[in-house]
Amino acid sequence: MRRIICSLVFCGALFLRSAAGQTAVEVPRPEEKDRRDRAVARQQDKRAQHTNVIEFRGEKAFAEAELRSQLKEQITTLDEFGLTAARGDDIAFFLELFYRKHGYSKVDVHYTIESGDHLRLDIAEGPLVTLGQVLFVGNQHEPTDKLFEYAVGPTRERYSKLQKSLPFVAADVEEGADLVHRLYISEGFLDAVVAPPIYHFHDDNAQVDATIPITEGKQYFFGEIGFSGETIYGPEALRGQMRDLLAQPYTEQRIADIPRRLQAYFKARGYYGVKVDATGDPRSTRNGRVPVHVSILPGPLYHFDGVTVNGLMRLRPSFIQKRFGKLHGETYSPDVLDEKFRDLMRTGLFNVLQIKPTPIGGNLLRLDVSAEEAKSKEFGFSLGYGSYAGAIVGVSFRDRDLFGYGRPLTTSVEYSQRGYKGEVLWDDPWFLDSDFGFKFHLSALTFDYDGYTKFELGGRIDLTRKFGKHYEAGLVFSERHVEVTTSDIFPPILLGQTSYFVSSIGFTQTLDLRDSKVIPSRGVVFDNTFDVASSALGGDVDFVRSTFRVTYFIPFSRTTPTNTDVSTFGSRSQLSWFQRSSIAIGARMGIIHSLNNTGSDDALEIPIDERFFNGGSNTVRSFGERDLGPRDRHGFPIGGEFFSIYNIEYTFPIFGELQGAVFVDAGNLLPSAEEPGFDEMRYAVGAGLRYKLPIGPIRLDYGVNPDPHPHDDPGAFHFSFGFAF
């Protein structure tokens, strides 16, 4: 201990000596330090006393703690600068304002300063005044229920949509009347006048009705569209770019949108410096239609030139330059730049990325890229749970910028109650700086299925290419060693080979027209796989396998609800609920067929781990995981060579991101690929909950089996993550 103390003293002496060599250090005397500490403590005590010099009297509707919270800024001012009559009056004013925002329109707060630093607030709350009817006079084109939602909107924002009785807040109703006026302007009633609300207090002063007088005036629409300047593509082509806009009522906002639309149209075709101006004059209207004049100066046609990059510290500039290399000499297109930008941001290499086209003469555009790099190394820890796998714990490490070339390497280890898994993934979205994507995946795992346990070690190579935004195709090379380590399947012959190598080559294709891959709400996705395993490639088994999937997402939303929609559903809130609902329809099939069928009855040519299984959270949800289909004598699933699955699911909002769902599933699993079809169909009818996260939904489902066979369960619970199909 003595040696440690001496070392600390020695280090402290060295520190003081070093500091003394640079700047003078003044060490306060003990008595001076004590005097400063006492002064700070007195100041803190004084501030604490100031916080309690405010006394509330007469408060009933709100707790004192809530009132103090609402006045915290004013109380802080008292703490710092002291109590004056002006500050006391401010506190009384803001307290009255708080009460009025909650419907106490008759509130009166009187302040009194006592003993110089004591503020007493006497509160006469008065009755809680609620908003009764909101009447509109003079509205002919807009329905009353629609105007009502705008009028009470400012108050509704502070309360639940389920609350029927709203407090009366005059400032809110006046703001709502202004929103009604803006609505009329947006519908083309440029001369509309919405007068200030007129209030009618009931005899008990506990409720107020409001009348909002409206003078609608004439509704204006777009009339003839004339062009001047060099239109290049012709007037009809330009009108086609704004046809939906011109079909709506005339407003200044829509006039301002015309240049933006046409400029985007010209820029997409290389006219980087285009200038468009649109003007309309409602005073020269004819039969309510306003003529519009559009002038166009397209400027020269621009082409891409070189790329400059700045801001990089670790990533090599060539990584960005090569992404734009093929654009040299091409016609300028903002859509192409946007696509390149999104591709780069998806790598996760950048916090900020700015691409600025700069004219450099000769009708050329240089791309000046400014970047701020994100952290390239990432360590992750995950916890999860699945109704089949049980508890899941994972650890991962990822380097997005290995050796400064912008290619990520990911390693991960995962444990579940059914096994272990380790993976290494190398991902190169631009293989050899081409348009091909390359993935190299190594994995080792053990997993305990119902009936057998397996060990698997293998690798996979994916070489893919995108054709356009929505279609992707690729080749897959796979080499795996599979060993069934333990088994309860009886008779054992049902396992097929229990230790073997699988070498395969395959083809994949995907057509994805969904609006989002993570949380889709509309669109369709189709994918298909085809692979061949052969001893000619070095494996022990020979088969051909193919799968197919199509899923269609249908939303019920409409951009602009019509009055017919509102009348059909009774209210705009019910219509909004329906519009946020959606339906998904899916179908999947798969078949696997042995290529070395010996015709023997004493062996199964397809090993159990290569067969298809059905049932579970993503298939027919009235069955447990893999429980649908053929079984052995002990009741363990043994898989099959042909499957089909059909799903339909309707989801609807409950509260916030929480959704409900009802579904119907159907599917089968047949033991032989020789006789595919729709025999042995099994079904599920069920309901569930969804909680939407940015990375996908958490799902809880229960599926009922309407036609259980002997030894089948009546239904099954499933807790999982992601979309069901």
54 HSE (CA, 13 A, CB side): 31
Q: Is the pLDDT of residue 565 over 70?
A: no
Is 322 found in the same domain as 246? no
CB crowding 143-178: b at 16 or more within 10 Å, else e: eeebbbbbbbebbeeeeeeeeeebbbbbebbeebbe
Quote the CA–CA distance of 652 and 578 in Å, as a whole number. Answer: 7
Residue 49's nearest CA partner among 140, 133, 115, 138 is 115
Q: Within this chain, do residues 542 and 570 fall inside the same structural domain, yes or no?
A: yes
What is the tens place of the pLDDT at every residue in 609-640? 999 999 999 999 999 999 999 999 999 999 99
Residue 16 has pLDDT above 60, yes or no: no
Q: Region 324-329: what's the mean pLDDT?
A: 92
Q: Does residue 40 fall inside a structural domain?
A: no
Cα torsion through 269, 271, 275, 279, rounded to 10: -20
Helix, strand, coil abundance in the chain, percent, nearest 5: 25, 40, 35
662: tokens are 């009802």
Q: 143 pLDDT exceeds 60?
A: yes
Averaged pLDDT for residues 160-171? 82
Q: Which pLDDT value is given to residue 310?
A: 95
pLDDT tens digits, one per residue of 472-493: 999 999 999 999 999 999 999 9
Same domain as 622, residue 690: yes
pLDDT at 33 over 80: no
Helix 170-186 vs helix 144-151: crossing angle, to nearest 10: 130
At 628 the three-state DSSP class reads strand
- The tens digit of pLDDT for each residue in 62-94 reads 999 999 999 999 988 888 888 899 999 999 999
DSSP codes of every residue in 220-250 = PEEEEEEEEE--SS-HHHHHHTTHHHHTSBP
Question: Residue 642, Cβ neighbours under 10 Å: how many?
Answer: 22
pLDDT of residue 7: 36
Joined tokens for residue 638: 């043994």
677 lies in the same domain as 530: yes
Write down which residue in 124, 141, 165 finishes a domain.
Answer: 124
Report the Cα 492 to chain-centroid distance in Å. 48
pLDDT digits (tens, 9 = 90+) for 185-229: 999 999 999 999 999 988 877 899 999 999 999 999 999 999 999
Q: How far apart are the C-alpha atoms of 438 and 464, rounded to whole Å? A: 7
Residue 486 domain-assigned (yes or no): yes
Q: Which of helix, strand or coil describes residue 149?
A: helix
Residue 689 forms part of a structural domain: yes
> Do 592 and 544 meet the contact criterion of CB atoms below 8 Å apart?
yes
Would you place residue 40 in the very low, low, confident or very high pLDDT band (cuts 50, 70, 90)?
Answer: low
Low-confidence winner among 449-453, 478-482, 600-604 (lowest mean pLDDT): 600-604
Range of lowest pLDDT (120-129, 164-173, 576-585): 576-585
Are 110 and 155 in the same domain? no
Specify whether 689 is located in the same domain as 557.
yes
Indicate whether 18 belongs to any domain: no
Task: Place 43 in a pLDDT band, splitting at 50, 70 and 90.
Answer: low
For residues 193-205, one letter each, b for 16 or more C-beta atoms within 10 angstroms of the residue's C-beta and e for the rest, the string is: ebeebeeeeeeee
DSSP state of 218: P
Q: What's the rounded Cα separation, in Å, for the pair 444 and 116?
A: 78
Kindly tell me if the per-residue pLDDT of 51 is higher than 50: no
**Is there a domain that residue 20 lies in?**
no
pLDDT at 164: 76
User: Element (H or E) spanning 15, and its range?
Assistant: helix 2-20
Residue with token string 């910028």: 401
- Find, among 405, 379, 397, 429, the residue nearest to 314 by Cα: 405
d(CA 345, CA 348): 6
* Spatial CA neighbour of 211 closest among 144, 150, 133, 276: 133
Each residue's pLDDT tens digit, 218-259: 999 999 999 999 999 999 999 999 999 999 999 999 999 999
Q: What is the mean pLDDT of the chain?
A: 88
DSSP 330-374: SBP-HHHHHHHHHHHHHTT-EEEEEEEEEE-STTEEEEEEEEEEP
The CATH number linked to 311 is 3.10.20.310
* Cβ atoms of residues 117 and 82 within 8 Å: yes
pLDDT category of residue 45 using cuts at 50, 70 and 90: very low
Residue 113: inside a domain, yes or no?
yes
pLDDT at position 706 over 80: yes
Q: Map tokens 């109704």 to a residue.
A: 387
Helical (H) or strand (E) element with 477: strand 471-487
Examine the fold and report which residue of 274, 297, 320 is the final residue of a domain before the chain moves on: 297
CA distances from 253 to 119, 145, 185, 260, 561 (A): 51, 25, 10, 11, 20
**Is-contact 430 341, C-beta < 8 A?**
no
Q: For residue 58, is pLDDT > 70? A: yes
Average pLDDT over residues 342-347: 93
Among the residue ranges 53-57, 444-448, 508-512, the one predicted with the least confidence is: 53-57
What would the two tokens of residue 684 be? 């599920």
Please check whether residues 475 and 582 belong to one and the same domain. yes
pLDDT of residue 31: 55
Tell me how long the chain is: 725
Contact 660, 688 (CB under 8 A): yes
Tell me, yes or no, whether 503 lies in a domain. yes
Task: Identify whether residues 409 and 327 lie together within a single domain.
Answer: no
Residue 540 pLDDT level (bands cut at 50, 70, 90): very high
**Rounded to the nearest 10 degrees, how much is the dihedral formed by the CA atoms of 181, 187, 193, 196?**
-20
Same domain, 602 and 473: yes
**pLDDT for 273 beyond 50:** yes
Strands 409-416 and 350-359: unpaired
Share of the chain above pLDDT 90, in %: 73
Same domain, 100 and 235: no
Residue 9, pLDDT > 90, answer no
Q: Does residue 366 register a pLDDT over 50?
A: yes
Q: Is the predicted pLDDT of residue 381 greater than 50, yes or no?
A: yes
Q: Which of 233, 294, 235 is nearest to 268 (CA)?
A: 233
pLDDT, tens digit (0-9, with 9 covering 90-100), for 511-538: 999 998 888 889 999 999 999 999 999 9
Residue with tokens 């593509």, as numbered in its chain:
233
Q: What is the pTM of this model?
A: 0.70
* Residue 384 lies in domain: 377-417
How many domains is the chain built from?
6
The domain boundary, picked from 260, 282, 297, lies at: 297
Partnered with residue 682 across adjacent β-strands are: 667
On the question of pLDDT at 563 being above 70, the answer is: no
With a cut of 50, say whether residue 153 has pLDDT above it. yes
| HSE-CB for 399 with a 13 A CA cutoff | 10
Burial class (CB in 10 A: 0-12, 13-18, 19+), 188: buried
Shared-domain flag, residues 265 and 365 = no
**Per mean pLDDT, which range of 113-117, 436-440, 662-666, 688-692 is the poorest?**
113-117
Report the distance separating Cα 397 and Cα 379, nearest Å. Answer: 5
Same domain, 113 and 242: no
End-to-end CA distance of the chain: 67
Q: In what order do the strands lie in the sheet containing 54-57?
A: 54-57, 118-124, 108-114
Helical spans, DSSP H, in 506-621:
563-569, 572-579
- 276 in Cβ contact with 294 (< 8 Å): yes
Look at residue 157 and tell me if it is in a domain: yes
